Structure 1
């Protein structure tokens, strides 16, 4: 390798400086060692620097696409990289940096989650005037900096996500909100999606309204013609002038609104909401409590879907929206208060579908106005779920029933369901068998004389009294399913099963057990149109062949399939819509352009 004259000159200067430093300062052997180490570090630094310069020159002249790619190829590859990876790529070589910075579309997804704001500023400068996704976490320490470049770049922001974390004292966001609220009082001609969330700490729920978290009347300067999707949490809306809404909200189609924790939503708040969003078609509404103050609420003629997380009194809040005047396709209430279960279901006697797990219950049907409606209840005990499954009114119009095997009643019979078309039973995990309370519940013999972990071939609570007066009244039943899947142990992120409880293989059942259940409890519906085993297999044994053949003779179709997706998902979907849409990679843009 040939040493350049510049590097040779630097080595000579370093050697001279080293000899002078040793003569003046090194009086001991240890000091000489330290000085030598310092000199070697300097030499290594010089070598690395010149090697990088040489590599840049070689890459610039290289004909290999990996080191000297055309700009369109480089941009296409970057479409599949995250923002952090794109930043790393821009530091590989001088040529790559030029390619990266020259394409403004590579920097149209800006996310700043920590207190430093310089990174977001540089990325916004690189994006120039291309439509950009801007996602900021606003603290008191960076609020003014964020506000300054929001003012500068709001005219080309397509998606704006603002989060205001709150401290235990509840006072972190006040100055931050003041700065940002002035910044977003500017026109936003290309803004399509807006997400604002003032996070309220669990330590600050005293019921007192803290000032400053209200949108200004000049919000977005009254100009956001493309705005269609809005999600607001912990922010109050200004009172509209007369019957006119805030101009940026006049054409919004989807709204997600979460009221402040610890503060009751009132009829006046609901009225303000409907006045400012007169054309919404999909509404997600969340509030812990509701106070009906008698305020008249304007009708929402375009409303089609309501997805509400309800608390105490929230059913009354939904009625304030005058549902009878709309053409709803779906109403979903997510109820976290078990005490509300009885009065809510009492209004909902025309249930068409029930899905029951060990802690959650979903009921879908038609309300008194003929509109489809769905209510979901979370974190329930077994008693209220079982009481629901014993209510005759819930089964009169029922067409589909899905329940956990432990919820099958000990009497063997559910209320009469003359219109039932589908019955699905979710089999328990082995861990659920091990943890299930012993008192009054039948447990199957474990494999190997009771010494194994896996309950083999037993549909546990279907082992009921052999003699019943009459079979279950379900004469219209056409499909019977047995379902088992490893997803059962964790229906949400807070309940993920550990490795010992995770089960990915199929559940093995006895054909004789299934046959006895079908011929005893479903006799009124025989022959069935279809029997499905999803994630379930028949125990392979010679004496099971006859029972399996008899079971197949009781149905026109007999199917064995993989478990598939969770048949009873406990997520509504709307609350993730806005954030998820904003974070979609922009690779679709280039595909569409191609």
Structure 2
């Protein structure tokens, strides 16, 4: 039933009411019996009731299909909606509202802010005993947050981003048992604050991830932290504190921290043993001296992944690389022209390093580098120095260049200009020594799915050829993801590209599937779908 029809029916009921009033006014002076008045009222009432019943019947006819949607389907629909949309959808009908209120899994991921803090108690009660993911952002604790304490027992992830004093008050009261808690994150506590000694009443067997701004862990042993495996601390003030934390967390295998202003790595000795870390990340090093002292120590440890941010000199970079000669994974983050490029290098070594360095420093390093164990090279954003000799990579099997789809890139490619600035390093005569290359991938991270990167087939063919400085036994496989070709099917550029590769895999989101077979002949083994190497 349309809104217009409903309004018409409502007007009809109003007219009946006015008619009843008018009849009563006309008969006020007439000598009518009580039976006559009752009969008149009964007739008018029946007419009004008939109109109301007709409105209800038409309304039910329009909502009956909604009311009969299975509970599981309604729950799935509501689960895909945002918080505000879910509230609106729950008012479609009584059936949907009952399902929304009685489905705890729809209320187990709650993000409390100022605008919805008043609903904290109601929403938490709807979650019943399901595992909770709670985030409290930019709100004052106030008495309303007292209800959080009553639900800590079934909270899995707790992320607090509130004012420091309110956050500390809440954390200080977390003595309730937390048998399901896995992650605790808080970042605004003062440096003088300390977590309570009896954190979670010493019962948090699944707590494995703690993130904080200052080091606010208790000084003594804390059994509640015995299972913690990941510690993120934005500032550790001294080597003694670092050693104490490692001793407090017997299960730790990932540590992310930055040196405080007073931290001196020179005070560390080789006696400091790091656990068998999966990942060690040191950010915002205040001096190269700290890095140079730290890396030789790390070379004696069983650390599989090291992350350092912004070493400032070539000497520091050399010191970093010395204990990591057999590189398995390395990434150089290069900042240039306001963009960030990640050079990810994979090899078959045991140790891994992830380095974030300045642009000119990375260029000097790459100029003189030789990667004997390099198997896969992934270049994000495609920045590479034209003035540098590209590295020797005799074991390289896979080469990927990832571009960003932007109006500038798309326009340049549509004008048949070279792939510059995206992959300007692929000039003729400037390539890798890659006799074993198996896969060449050109991929694009789309800003919108409707705008794939448009490239010329001849440019792609040059891209493939430029990667092959020495003859190889078999042409490589070409992978194009989120990239579309400029030339029409059957063009000489398409045929030339097909002769230079053994197979082509193209993401069908950017191509007509019926057009692909003719587009890619004579290439063999054409693969449809979202395929990667």
Distance 2:347 2:216 in 1: 33
Partner of 1:522: 469
2:506 maps to 1:561: yes
Contact kept in structure 2, 1:177 and 1:213, CA below 8 Å:
no
Distance 1:371 1:115 in 2: 50
Say which SS state the counterpart of residue 509 (structure 1) adopts.
helix
Partner of 1:216: 196
Say which SS state the counterpart of residue 207 (structure 2) adopts.
coil
1:101-140 map, 5 Å: 101-114=101-114, 117-137=117-137, 139=139
Contact kept in structure 2, 1:156 and 1:188, CA below 8 Å:
yes
1:360 to 334, 338, 341: 341
Shift of 1:120: 0.9
Contact kept in structure 1, 2:455 and 2:486, CA below 8 Å:
no
Distance 1:563 1:348 in 2: 41
Partner of 1:274: 246
1:233-382 map, 5 Å: 233-241=212-220, 244=221, 246-253=222-229, 255-260=230-235, 265-286=237-258, 290-292=263-265, 294=267, 299=273, 301-312=275-286, 315=291, 324-326=300-302, 328=303, 330-339=304-313, 341-351=317-327, 359-362=340-343, 364=345, 371-377=350-356, 380-381=358-359
Distance 1:187 1:283 in 2: 26
Structure with bigger RCO (C-alpha 8 Å, 6+ apart):
1
Distance 2:317 2:476 in 1: 34
Distance 1:345 1:83 in 2: 49
Name the CA shift for 1:109/1:543 in 2 (closer, same or farther; >3 Å): closer
Distance 2:496 2:121 in 1: 71
1:387 to 345, 353, 364: 364
2:433 to 464, 470, 474: 474
Shift of 1:234: 0.8
Q: How many residues align?
A: 454
Say which SS state the counterpart of residue 189 (structure 1) adopts.
coil
Partner of 1:576: none
Shift of 1:331: 0.4
Distance 2:401 2:291 in 1: 31
Contact kept in structure 1, 2:329 and 2:352, CA below 8 Å:
no
TM norm structure 2: 0.67
Contact kept in structure 1, 2:343 and 2:378, CA below 8 Å:
no
Contact kept in structure 2, 1:267 and 1:317, CA below 8 Å:
no
Distance 1:77 1:543 in 2: 50
Name the CA shift for 1:517/1:158 in 2 (closer, same or farther; >3 Å): closer
Shift of 1:179: 1.6
Cα RMSD (Å)? 5.0
Say which SS state the counterpart of residue 150 (structure 2) adopts.
helix
Name the CA shift for 1:505/1:267 in 2 (closer, same or farther; >3 Å): same
Shift of 1:105: 4.2
Shift of 1:131: 3.2
Distance 2:402 2:89 in 1: 49
Name the CA shift for 1:294/1:144 in 2 (closer, same or farther; >3 Å): farther
Contact kept in structure 1, 2:253 and 2:276, CA below 8 Å:
yes
Distance 1:528 1:354 in 2: 28
Shift of 1:562: 4.3
2:478 maps to 1:532: yes
Say which SS state the counterpart of residue 176 (structure 2) adopts.
coil
Say which SS state the counterpart of residue 84 (structure 1) adopts.
helix
Contact kept in structure 1, 2:194 and 2:218, CA below 8 Å:
no
Contact kept in structure 1, 2:433 and 2:469, CA below 8 Å:
yes
**Runs of 5+ consecutive residues of structure 1 not aligned to the other structure:** 13-50, 165-172, 200-209, 436-445, 466-470, 488-495, 566-594
Shift of 1:304: 2.8
Distance 2:69 2:505 in 1: 51
Shift of 1:133: 2.4
Shift of 1:4: 9.0
Contact kept in structure 1, 2:259 and 2:285, CA below 8 Å:
yes
TM norm structure 1: 0.61
2:504 maps to 1:506: no
